[in-house]
Structure 1
């Protein structure tokens, strides 16, 4: 079931791993493949080593329809996004170093330094801390889901989503690049704002 879609999800996981946007077993990636089915990475597996047969097929309530692993315990966060945003068909949650540094510091990424931020990721949100794998994590992001396509999770990581896997991936890559550039510029001095 969904062989090509599973391969596409595995390919994105490898890209995330190769670009150090995800390490080892952290994070979770999902893809909506029909009105009733979601593909989700299994819990406890290295994202760089996934094979299509490891990908879980779930219904919209989180019941496993296919797969021998354990579905990620953070599925409620993905489920909420799909419920609130019918335009979204892919969700990526990882712990990229620089974006997560902003989340750890409780600092939102400003949009006044790089034009890429305004163009690709307007309204990056910063959600309050909630224990990973709990319903509280989904509750923490709920106020921001409808107005943002990228959310920093305090003391945790980052979340991006889009109309497909490539769009969600591109947003995560841009989020990390923006974060890294701002941090590097702060080492050199005070970043200059975009002229109004």
Structure 2
């Protein structure tokens, strides 16, 4: 902070939430405990009515990095696009209310994007609960392009992307439940590189 001017964070994390009282605190805490700290956490409460809002209000009152928007239900795509519009960082990371992130996630992803010059990246994910299966995703731009022929080449809540790409493309509400696939296809269509 310089004087009264608040410098923009390098990273904006977008977390849409809807009725997730059993999971959301773990998700938020996993973000707040990241080894990389220059981020804002934009949480959009999309009309929750199960007690989620009270949890989010408490968490946001305890940490200045949280930007909390509470409003009526508009759906996931509207929430994602609203978060993108609010984002001030050079990069945008996605997170879901029922996921947790390892503490090195942001440090590793930002370093990777700087090192490679890629526009976006994702990570492998490990299930928890009854299954501890690890899902791995493509590790080169060529593999990403091939995977996109069949399925999404990224675990959506593990992605990090240049904010300029998100702000240019945004999410479309064309294919219900496949907004992530549509976004990734649009990224590749304009020549974006990632893994």
TM-score (norm 2): 0.33
TM-score (norm 1): 0.33
Which has the larger helix fraction? 1
